[in-house]
Amino acid sequence: MTLEEASAAALEATRIGDLDALAKALAARSSALASGESPTPGVHAAGELTMELLRQLIRDTGLEVARLKQLQMATFPSGEPPSYVDLAG
């Protein structure tokens, strides 16, 4: 995969939140850079946008984790369900 292709794949994976595809694309991007490919302004811009979207994903995920913890505490104030509650169904 070329540097341009890997950069585009990383950007798309970040846009849709596919972390497995993002990891593969970033590995391909690193390999392309290590092989001597030079980043073009477009590749650099795609990398910058990927990083900004990734920072946003991290922020959003942190907020969702906080909301889930609030729901857990509202449901189970001790933080854990009582031993007689079967969550597996």
Q: Render pLDDT for 3-26 as a digit per residue (tens, 0 to 9).
A: 999 999 999 999 999 999 999 999
Share of the chain above pLDDT 70, in %: 90
Residue 73's pLDDT is: 85
Least confident of 1-5, 44-48, 60-64, 83-87: 83-87
Task: Dihedral sign for Cα 27, 48, 10, 20, please.
Answer: positive
As a whole number of angstroms, the distance between CA 22 and CA 31 comes to 14
Q: What is the DSSP letter of 80?
A: S
Does this model's pTM top 0.75? My answer is no
Residue 12's pLDDT is: 96
Residue 85's pLDDT is: 62
**Contact yes or no for 40/18 (Cβ under 8 A):** no
Q: Which of the pair, 50 or 80, is modelled with greater confidence?
A: 50
